[in-house]
Structure 1
Amino acid sequence: MPLEVGKIVEGKVTGITAFGAFVQLPEGKTGLVHISEVAQEYVKDVSAHLKENQMVKVKILSIDTNGKVSLSIKKAMEENPTIVKSRPPVEVDWNSGKNSSSNASFEDRLAKFMKDSDEKLHDLKKSVESKRGSSGYRKSAQY
């Protein structure tokens, strides 16, 4: 099947660089997914989103006269939301914390959370102030 602009095809990531990823397409052609086209969110490191030999769906954005193929994973996901990776639901056991009682009311648990939070904030502030020194600000010398 010939490559056409606008088509969504599957390819294999063959290389990752600081500016994007190279994807081998059907018929042996290779295209580039620019870092700005890897994901919906800001991508600082391409290798945090893609791995070599990973199969990905890409949309063909352009094919220039020299045969360079520009690709987008982001636009392929927009058109086919079923390929977006879904995360499994997270189960939270609200009664598994330290010193928590399954008989405690919501208000009791909230009060305990607020107390613990205030204590941690106080400890953090004390730690930051001790690192700054007790002299406060320094006065500049007057001439």
Structure 2
Amino acid sequence: MSIEVGSKLQGKVTGITNFGAFVELPEGSTGLVHISEVADNYVKDINDHLKVGDEVEVKVINVEKDGKIGLSIKKAKEGSEQTKPQHSYSPRSRQGGPRQGRTNDNRNNSRAESFESKMARFLKDSEDRLSSLKRHTESKRGGRGARRG
């Protein structure tokens, strides 16, 4: 069974990093579940959701030419819950006005996903910069006061 985009597979978490989890797939290949693809809501710490050794169902979202495999846990779950329409959670569909065709709904969903991933990346970068700034200013305050005395 070759690994194709869109296929659902069972895998085992082999490693966890601050940006995602590595999952071993059948046939011994390994793919990455990015932190933004772990759950529907914002994931600050991936360790709250996954542990090394966990068995997870993943969906293959991309296979790059160099062999890297992109996986998603949340899309594997969405696929099994086909009872609710995919566009029901999109903020655009809750606004008034005429409904657009199915192709436009799919385009809006991809925008929402890219926005969510951009927002998650922005929040992480922002927190890192803020903590770095706080450390830098606190060390300056403490250092200057101690030298004068």
TM-score after normalising by structure 1: 0.56
Matched residue, 1:5: 5
CA distance in 2, matches of 1:53, 1:81: 25
Structure 1 stretches of 4+ moved >6 Å: none
Greater share of residues in helix: 2
Aligned position for 2:61: 61
- What is residue 29 of structure 1 aligned with on the other side? 29
Runs (5+) with no aligned partner, structure 1:
83-143
How far 1:20 moved relative to its partner? 0.3
Count residues in correspondence. 82
Q: Distance in 2 between matches of 1:40 and 1:19?
A: 16
1:76 match: secondary structure: helix
- Rg larger for: 1
Residue of structure 2 equivalent to 1:45: 45
| Separation in structure 2 between the aligned mates of residue 18 and residue 38 of structure 1, nearest angstrom | 12
- Separation in 2, partners of 1:18, 1:28: 23
Whole-angstrom distance in 2 between the partners of 1:17 and 1:81: 28
Aligned residue identity for 2:45: D
SS at match of 1:47: helix
2:76 match: 76
**Percent of residue pairs identical:** 60
Q: TM-score, normalised by structure 2?
A: 0.54
Residues 123-134 of structure 1: pairs in structure 2 closer than 5 A:
none
2:19 equivalent in structure 1? 19
Secondary structure of 1:27's match? helix
Q: Hey, what's the Cα distance between the residues in 2 that align with 1:25 and 1:81?
A: 23
State the alpha-carbon separation in 1 of the partners of residues 8 and 41 from structure 2.
20
Distance in structure 2 (CA, Å) of the matches to 1:19 and 1:52: 15
* 1:61-93 deviation line (CA, Å, top 9, x unaligned): 0100000000000100000139xxxxxxxxxxx
SS for the counterpart of 2:36 is helix
